[in-house]
Amino acid sequence: MTTIRRFCCNDLLRFASVNLDHLTETFNMSFYMTYLARWPDYFHVAEGPGNNIMGYIMGKVEGQGESWHGHVTAVTVASEYRRQQLAKKLMRLLEDISDKMEKAYFVDLFVRASNMPAIKMYEKLGYVIYRRVLRYYSGEEDGLDMRKALSRDVDKKSIIPLKRPITPDELEYD
């Protein structure tokens, strides 16, 4: 039961039940609003009956040339609405927008190397581990840069895994 629509500021006042979750970060206002101001098509919310917020996805599109790609910054689902493939639905939306509207080459995301449930989920959705980013999370935990090629990357060049890990300062984009 999912009405998916663009996220708007008022949703920030209604997403507490999603964001109180331990693994969901509540960013500062300028972070959310910069995403809304720059990439409104990459910020969607799923609503259930009674206008309950079920979850949301935020992301952006950036890069140059063959690095032009969609990026998933956060995707989260309230505990009440888990195990219904909602995250998959939200990810598909972002991939579709990146593929069809933005003509991007791939979609990428970062995930904690220890977050096995999330890594497994992304693998099921077709993402591969492209590279490891050493101490990406607060200088402590490694991050995995996972990618999925889109139709424009015919030869799937963008997802050929790198052989060596990189450090955060080697990242092309934050």
Partner 1 sequence: MSARFGLAGGIPERRVRPIWDAVDSRQYKAALKLATGLLAKYPSSPYALALKALILERMGKPEEALSICLEAKDLLFSDNALHIDDLTLSTLQIVFHRLDRLDLATSCYEHACVKYPNDKEIMIGLFNCYVREYSFVKQQQIAIKLYKLFGEERFLLWAICSIQLQVLCSGSGQKLLQLAEALIKKHMASHSLHEQEALVIYLSILEQQEKYDAAVDVLSGELGSLIGIEEDKLRIQGRLLARAFNYTAAAEIFQKVLESCPDDWETFLHYLGCLLEDDIDWPKANSNREICTPQLCIPCFDDNKASKAAHLSEDVFESRISNACTLVQKLQMDCSDFVRCPYLGNIEIERRRRLCGANHDDKFVEALLTYFHGFGHFSCFASDVKVFLDFLTQDEKDKLLDEFMRTLDSSSVSPIKALGQAMSVFRFQECLGVIFTLPLRVLKDNVKRMLEMYCKNLALSRDLDPQEGMHGEDLLSMASNILAVLFWRTRKLEYLLEAIMVLEYGLTIRRYTWQYKIPLLHLYSHLGAIPLAYEWYCTLEVKNILLETISHHILPQMLNSPFWAETGDLLKEYLKFMDDHLKESADLTCVAYRHRNYSKVIEFVQFKQRLEHSNQLLMRRLDASILQLKQKAHSLEEVERIFENLNNGSKLLDMSAEDKLKSLTFNEDFYSRPWWSPTPSVNHLSEKFEEGFTCLNENLVCFNSREHLFFVEDVYMKKQLYICNCNAKHLCNYYASKS
Paired strand residues for 116 = none
For 32-71, the DSSP string reads: HHHHHHH-GGGEEEEE-GGG-EEEEEEEEEE-SGGG-EEE
Please work out the total of residues on this chain that contact partner 1, with binding judged by CB under 8 A.
51
Q: Is 138 in the site for partner 1 (CB under 8 A)?
A: no
Q: Is 162 in the site for partner 1 (CB under 8 A)?
A: no
Q: How far apart are CA 9 and CA 37, in angstroms?
A: 11
One-letter amino acid of 53? I
What minimum distance in Å lies between the beta carbon of 88 and partner 1?
A: 9
Asked if residue 91 lies in contact with residue 72, where contact means CB atoms within 8 angstroms, the answer is yes
Q: How far apart are CA 108 and CA 127, in angstroms?
A: 8
The span of 76-84, 127-135, 141-149, 163-171 binding partner 1 (CB under 8 A) equals 76-84
Among residues 63, 74, 84, 129, which is the contact residue for partner 1, using CB under 8 A? 84
Q: Is 124 in the site for partner 1 (CB under 8 A)?
A: no
Binding site for partner 1 (CB under 8 A): 1-6, 8-10, 12-14, 16-17, 19-23, 26-30, 32-34, 36-38, 40-41, 47-52, 54, 79-85, 97, 101, 115-117
